């Protein structure tokens, strides 16, 4: 089955980012296809590679990157939500005249149309948030 | 329809709204702080028990254990793991997160 996942809450806030990750991982392990994970609102903070939690804590950002690598998972970050929160890839940083970029490996920045498409193409869309 | 509730009924009214709107035969999955809605001894116990006449209630085991509530689950509530969560999503034709 094709499943889309929407993450609306930032990491280390309540539990939505953890729930979304554990759900996505379990679905992939069961052989389902995750059509896309879309990060919206504060959820875009899941994608900054500058995250550095204490060593005994889980690294939510790296965990997504690793899962993406293992399963060729499509991790999409909403561009408008990302720009508001200082999340950008190399191209976007250049375009905005910034001196740095911080998008983690495995993520890509795109528009809200990607969420709509995930909703249309997936058999189910599961939302995680606050 | 699968309803997913992630906040405690002692914090927000999302579970109460969900139970009011859920049609007979649908399923309600309690995750994160929502698991408190499936525990014994609170003032919400009567409401969830009354709702169980019409809807099937599930609770996410790892989130119960994380809160030390694994031995306080109400009778009639089914405990599932993340794999069970995925199965519930697959088994129902659509799902609604009560955020």
Q: Which domain holds residue A49?
A: 2-128
Residues of chain A neighbouring B62 (CB-CB closer than 8 A)? 22
Indicate which of B7, B61, B83, B86 best probes the interface with A, i.e. most A CBs within 10 Å of its own CB: B86
What's the pLDDT tens digit per position in B85-98? 999 999 999 999 99
d(CA A71, CA B33): 30
Helix or strand or coil: residue A98?
Answer: coil
Tell me whether residues A124 and B4 touch, CB distance under 8 A.
Answer: no
Helix B82-91 to helix A16-29 angle (10° resolution) is: 80
Whether A66 sits among the annotated catalytic residues: the reply is: no
CATH of the domain at A25: 3.40.1260.10
Q: Considering A78, A79, A88, A104, which one is annotated as catalytic?
A: A78
Record the pTM: 0.97
- Contact between A67 and A28 under an 8 Å Cβ cutoff? The reply is yes
- In chain B, pLDDT over 90 holds for what percent of residues? 100
pLDDT in tens, A20-37: 999 999 999 999 999 999
Q: What is the pLDDT of residues A103-122, one digit of tens each?
A: 999 999 999 999 999 999 99
Please report the domains of chain B, with CATH numbers, ordered by start residue.
Answer: 2-98 (3.40.1260.10)
CB contact under 8 A, B95 and A124: yes
Low-confidence ranges of chain B (pLDDT < 70): none
Interface predicted TM-score of the whole assembly (ipTM), two decimals: 0.97
Please tell me what DSSP assigns to residue A108.
E
Q: Give the number of domains in chain A.
A: 1
Per-residue exposure over B4-22, b if at least 16 CB sit within 10 Å of its own CB, e if not: bbbbbbeebebbbebbeeb
Beta strand segments in chain B, E: 2-5, 27-30, 56-60, 78-80, 95-98
Alpha-helical regions (H) of chain A = 16-29, 60-71, 79-84, 90-95, 113-121
Under 8 Å between Cβ of A81 and A124: no
């Amino acid at each position: 089955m094709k499943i889309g996942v929407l993450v609306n809450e930032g990491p280390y806030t309540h539990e939505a980012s953890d729930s979304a990750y554990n759900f996505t991982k379990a679905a992939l392990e069961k052989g389902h296809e995750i059509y896309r994970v879309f990060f919206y609102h504060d959820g875009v903070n899941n994608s900054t590679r500058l995250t550095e939690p204490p060593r005994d804590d889980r690294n939510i950002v790296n965990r997504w990157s690793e899962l993406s690598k293992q399963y060729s998972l499509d991790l999409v970050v909403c561009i408008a939500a990302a720009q508001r929160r200082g999340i950008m890839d190399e191209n976007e940083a250049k375009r905005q005249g910034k001196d740095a970029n911080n998008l983690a490996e495995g993520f890509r920045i795109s528009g809200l149309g990607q969420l709509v498409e995930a909703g249309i193409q997936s058999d189910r869309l599961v939302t995680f948030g606050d | 329809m699968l309803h997913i509730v992630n906040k405690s009924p002692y914090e927000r009214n999302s579970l109460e709204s969900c139970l009011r709107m859920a049609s007979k035969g649908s399923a309600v999955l309690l995750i994160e702080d929502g698991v408190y809605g499936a525990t014994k001894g609170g003032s919400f116990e009567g409401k969830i028990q009354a709702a169980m006449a019409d809807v099937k209630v599930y609770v996410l085991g790892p989130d119960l254990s994380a809160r030390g509530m694994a031995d306080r689950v109400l009778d009639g509530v089914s405990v599932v793991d993340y794999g069970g969560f995925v199965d519930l999503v697959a088994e129902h034709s659509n799902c609604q997160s009560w955020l």
